[in-house]
Amino acid sequence: MSENDLMIANKNQHMYDCYGAAYHAKRGREADSSWNRYLDQPMIEALFDGLAAGRVVDLGCGSGLMTRWLRDQGHIAVGVDFSETLIDIARTENPDLDFSVANIKATPYPASSFDIAVSALVLHYEQDLGPIFAEVARVLRPNSRFIFTMHHPVDEVSHSHERLSNARTITPYFHNKPYTFDMAGMQLTAYHHTFENISEALFANGFVIERIREARMLDTVKDHFPDYYERTNNYPSFVGFRARLFAQ
């Protein structure tokens, strides 16, 4: 990791530590968390379809919302995140679950200890996906699954709020450069990844892609969030992957 990348990572961590309570409160309000509830969560549930309950690690678990959902689905779930603020909230609200403060590239778990790894809207914060995928491969058992969601590569290079004749302006696609966005009072930095970049990093670390899902808002909330529904059912927003670790 370069000095600049380390500085960006530290800034993101600082943002979540300072604004973690506000971010958690945002996730608890339906109007402010519609993209999580009605885009990301249904996509993750679809990617879990057909998988038996098992031991699951939630990478970048934040305040533990996904970890709790995993528990409620019958999994034995643990969570890890780099933000002490968010982990404190997760522990307070879920005293029966195990959470750790750590970088997801170096988790505290033994090798081959999980059946599934999941990461919801986290990996776009990392420029180099290789070390993360290597750590996931380390903690997963052979033939286990890795489910993750992230910003859609096309959305990252389009002007999300600018349209010309109901179209979007696309900027150059083939790069791995950082970009910034605002959320819950935070200015965060993420990195653009191409589909090739994602798939090659998976393959290099022993994974094969089983499924890809592109999020679209549920029809059941069309009338409740008409603007978001129109936007997310015409233009990409999030993408999800289910990958299997090769037998070793």
Determine contact, residues 206/248, Cβ cutoff 8 Å. yes
Residue pointed to by tokens 């958690």: 24
- Report which of 9, 15, 40, 1 is spatially closest to residue 151, judged by C-alpha positions: 40
| Reported confidence tier of residue 96, pLDDT bands at 50, 70, 90 | very high
Instruction: For residue 210, count other CB atoms closer than 10 A to its CB.
Output: 13
More confident residue, 165 or 114: 114
Residue 163 has pLDDT above 50, yes or no: no
Among the ranges 55-59, 161-165, 169-173, which has the highest mean pLDDT value? 55-59
Pairing of strands 186-191, 178-183: antiparallel
Instruction: Give the fold, CATH level 3, of 3-245.
Output: Rossmann fold (3.40.50)
Residue pointed to by tokens 């990996």: 123
> Both tokens of residue 19?
């604004």
- At 247 the pLDDT is 63
Residue 227 has pLDDT above 50, yes or no: yes
- At 209 the pLDDT is 98
Could you give the angle at which helices 3-27 and 84-93 cross, rounded to 10 degrees?
30
Pairing of strands 186-191, 140-151: unpaired
Distance CA 208, CA 248 (A): 13
What's the mean pLDDT in 199-209? 98
pTM of the model: 0.94
| Domains of the chain, residue spans | 3-245
Task: Please provide the DSSP assignment of the chain as one string.
Answer: --HHHHHHHHHHHHHHHHHHHHHHHHHTSGGGSHHIIIIIHHHHHHHHTTPPP-EEEEET-TTSHHHHHHHHTT-EEEEEES-HHHHHHHHHH-TTSEEEE--TTS-SPPTT-EEEEEEES-GGG-S--HHHHHHHHHHEEEEEEEEEEEE-HHHHTEEEEEEETTEEEEPP-S---EEEEEETTEEEEEE---HHHHHHHHHHTTEEEEEEEE----GGGTTTSHHHHHHHTTS--EEEEEEEEPP-
Distance CA 105, CA 126 (A): 10
Distance CA 5, CA 148 (A): 22
> Both tokens of residue 191?
């990195």
| Reported confidence tier of residue 241, pLDDT bands at 50, 70, 90 | very high
Residue 100 class from Cβ within 10 Å (0-12 exposed, 13-18 middle, 19+ buried)? Answer: middle
- Our CA angle for 42, 215, 246, nearest 5°, is 80
- At 22 the pLDDT is 96
